Structure 1
């Protein structure tokens, strides 16, 4: 499995985002390039605003050549597929992920995947992880620590104009989902995006918080794995809450 990491491309593309969103990164002390880890966090709306800045920060600021595990849909379109690959992303197939971990790459995982980026009204900063545990099993298999992180800003950059739930719940769409092949292709409506009121995102500051590394080596069974996953989720939720407080403090500081 050949990983592409185009440092110049990553820096060039993310520089546009950095100028626009002025990201703040906290918790740099928890990033260690010498020991591969799995970075796990929340994915914000549409997923194209937060990921490039995180990859750029880890790669160009901390020399962590992180491989992002991307949704299968990114690899359906030829041109877009090549862009995604330049950021060091691989298709989220377990064999591919196992291959890059064997090569010693750190991994960037958004367990909510495609569904979490296709936010609907009322889902801002919600983790939609379903029953996914595969990423934790891989981390345990290769002895990778988990580095949780929280991202703030992306779910407020767009205001929803047409809610995906409205489309999915129509009689016509529900009729389409009764066709097995269509239901599978549309993932039972999960791939339907909400449409924003404007294609241009709001210009607001982004914040990222990295948290202490955590080992899975002590986990013995599935129940402990579930408890660990819930613990990671709660840490990310707390991180988002802390970032909101930090943002308010920064706003008050500059307001005076």
Structure 2
């Protein structure tokens, strides 16, 4: 598999976001370009502003070329698919991810995927990882360290005007989901987006916190894997709280 990773394209497209959101980064000492790792963090609302900044920072500041694991839906539209590929994204198929890891790429993973991007009211900065463990099993298979990170700001740039729950929780929609084909197509309602009140995002500072690398080679069973995943989640939540405190300090 040929990974497309256009550094100049990444830098150009992230330049406007960096000027608008003035990102700050912490924990750079946990980034090591000499050893590929799996960077695992929270996905913010719509995921279109902070992800390019993050990818640009890792590559142009630390020479870490990450392959981003993207939802299948991003690859259905030709133009959008081309854009995602230029950012080093691949379809979230295990064999594609395996091929990228065999080539020595670091991996960028948002375990919450499309559901965490399409947040609903009251879900800001919530991790919605469901029962996903495949990314951890791949990290263990290739002896990749996990580098947890927290991203603050992206869930606040839009105020939601329409909440997707208004459709998803309705009786008629629940009846639709009882049809197996429709339920599969709509992913149990996960693909229904909430909509913002305004299309122009608020100009807020973005913050990123990288945390110490974690290795999985000591894990021997499913219970230990579940505990490890819980530990990673708690680190991300703690990172978000730290960034909120830092933001208050900066405001002062």
Give the TM-score taking structure 1 as reference length.
Answer: 0.97
- SS of equivalent residue, structure 2 residue 43: coil
1:14-25 equivalences in 2 (<5 Å):
14-25=14-25
Aligned to 2:119: 119
Contact kept? 1:40, 1:111, Cα under 8 Å = yes
Which residue pairs with 2:188 in the alignment? 188
Specify the SS of the correspondent of 1:46.
Answer: coil
Quote how far apart the aligned CAs of 1:235 are.
0.2
Q: How many residues matched?
A: 252
Query: 1:239 — aligned with what?
Result: 239
Give 3-state SS (helix, strand or coil) of 2:137's partner.
helix
Q: What is the deviation of 1:207? A: 0.2
Gaps of 5+ in 2: none
Return the offset for 1:49: 1.2
- Distance across 2 between alignment mates of 1:74 and 1:15: 22
| Structure 1 segments (4+ residues) deviating >6 Å | none
Structure 1: gaps spanning 5 or more residues = none
Q: Deviation digits for residues 91-132 of structure 1, max 9, x if unmatched?
A: 000000000000000000000000000000110000000011
CA distance in structure 1 between the partners assigned to 2:173 and 2:222 by the alignment: 37
Give the superposition deviation at 1:178. 2.2
Separation (CA, whole Å) in 2 of partners of 1:61 and 1:119: 30
Aligned-partner Cα distance in 1 for 2:6–2:236: 29
CA separation in 2, counterparts of 1:108 and 1:218? 22
The correspondence of residues 99-248 of structure 1 with structure 2, limited to 5 A, is 99-248=99-248
Match in the other structure for 1:65: 65
Give the Cα–Cα distance (whole angstroms) in 1 for the partners of residues 232 and 223 of structure 2.
Answer: 14
Contact 1:43–1:50 (CA<8 Å) still a contact in 2?
A: no
Q: In the alignment, does 2:40 pair up with 1:40?
A: yes
Which whole-Å deviations, capped at 9, do the CAs of 1:55-100 have from their partners, x for residues lacking one? 0000111000100000111111111000000000000000000000
Q: Distance in 1 between matches of 2:131 and 2:176?
A: 26
C-alpha contact 1:163 1:195 (8 A) present in aligned 2: yes
CA contact (8 A) 1:160 1:196 kept: yes
The 10-residue stretch of structure 1 (164-173 or 115-124) with the greater mean CA deviation from structure 2: 164-173
Give the drift of 1:170. 1.9
Secondary structure of 2:216's counterpart equals: coil
